[in-house]
Amino acid sequence: MNIPNALTILRIFFVPLLVAALVEEHVTVHWASWNVTNEWLALAIFLVAAGTDLLDGYLARRWRQVTTIGTLLDPIADKLLISAALISLVQVRALPGWMAILIVGREFAVSGLRAIAAAERYTIRASDLGKTKMLAQVVAVSVLLVSVRHPYLHQPGIWMMWVVIFFALVSAVSYFLKFWRKVDQRVKKRRRRELLVLEKKRQRASMVQRGSTGTVGLGSATTAWKPPEVS
């Protein structure tokens, strides 16, 4: 296992830690002379996990260690992390449930779209809108995590979530349009090739049939003709 894949798996292991740190409201970690309460602990876990998302992709490209398992696990780890953070925020009443459902539903819809596109041998790469959405999502979730114990940050966090929803919907529409154009064209080309192959087979079968009919007719004519007898 290479380092980028290890970072991706590490991000998955951060998910239950994030949920536990956020949902258990009376957790306090004593470090030196500091008392780290649960919302700051959850924020630290979330930021470290989000940092691994940037680091594993960068290292995989730089070290040329892009693998199939990493390509499959990376989006799954991202979806698990964001979904866990949003659902936990709903649990502690820091985020409306409909916002979480909308964002999580968008994530899985785009993942399904990419899976269908991959089956058609077409890769939907992350767009600039998608990257902007991810950055806005990290900032918004971070603010809402802190707002659990500092209510004055709750309203700014909700405003940021509106920004996340905007970019999430716009980027989803962009992905669907890109998918429709590319995959629809590929399906049409494949269907056209199939029709051409069927037409060629039909023409060959017709030629073979005409050739066999001509041979049978010539053989019958040769058999029927006899030279005149000489007396």
Q: Is residue 83 part of a domain?
A: yes
Q: Is residue 67 part of a domain?
A: yes
Q: Is residue 39 part of a domain?
A: yes
Q: Is 28 helix (H, G, I), strand (E, B) or coil?
A: strand
CATH of the domain at 21: 1.20.120.1760
Q: Is residue 221 part of a domain?
A: no
Rg over CA atoms, the chain: 32
Tokens of 155: 């309203």
pTM above 0.85, yes or no: no
Question: In this predicted model, which residue has the larger pLDDT, 180 or 100?
Answer: 100
pLDDT score of 160: 95
Q: Is residue 197 part of a domain?
A: no
Look at residue 231 and tell me whether its pLDDT is greater than 50: no
Count of domains in the chain?
A: 1
H-helix or E-strand spanning residue 37: strand 34-37
Q: Is residue 158 part of a domain?
A: yes
pLDDT tens-digit readout, 184-214: 677 677 777 888 888 888 888 888 887 776 6
Residue 162 contacts residue 143 (beta carbons within 8 Å): no
Q: How far apart are CA 133 and CA 164, in angstroms?
A: 6
Using pLDDT thresholds of 50, 70 and 90, give the confidence band for residue 16.
Answer: very high
pLDDT tens-digit readout, 19-73: 988 887 666 666 666 777 788 888 999 999 999 888 887 787 888 877 777 777 8
pLDDT tens-digit readout, 109-157: 888 887 777 776 776 666 777 778 888 999 999 999 999 888 999 999 9
Q: Is residue 205 part of a domain?
A: no
Note down the domain range covering 119: 3-180
Q: Is 29 helix (H, G, I), strand (E, B) or coil?
A: strand
Q: Is residue 149 part of a domain?
A: yes
| Phi, psi dihedrals of residue 122, rounded to the nearest 5° | -135, 130
Most confident of 43-57, 92-106, 180-194, 216-230: 92-106
